[in-house]
Amino acid sequence: MIILGLILLVVGFLTGLSLLYYIGAILLILGVIFLVLGRTGRPVGGRKVWF
């Protein structure tokens, strides 16, 4: 999710499409939040580990 967010963020910035830019930023933020929650051992969405 973090990588997809970064890709969409860069593509949106380079092409000037603000929709891709905002979706990429949201995915990036959610990915970082899920990463932090997963690293602390807190279950996210009822599962402790997402593969």
Give the DSSP letter string of 6-38: HHHHHHHHHHT-HHHHHHHHHHHHHHHHHHHHH
pTM: 0.74
Q: Are 44 and 23 in contact (CB under 8 A)?
A: no
Which is more confidently placed, 19 or 48? 19
Integer Cα distance of 39 and 3 in angstroms: 17
pLDDT surpasses 90 at 26: yes
User: What pLDDT is recorded for position 1?
Assistant: 86
Residue 48 — pLDDT band, cuts 50, 70, 90? Answer: low
Q: What is the DSSP-derived secondary structure letter of residue 47?
A: B
49 has pLDDT over 80: no
Query: Half-sphere exposure of residue 45, counting CA atoms within 13 Å on the CB side?
Result: 6
> What is the residue-averaged pLDDT of the chain?
85
Query: Looking at residue 7, what is its pLDDT?
Result: 93
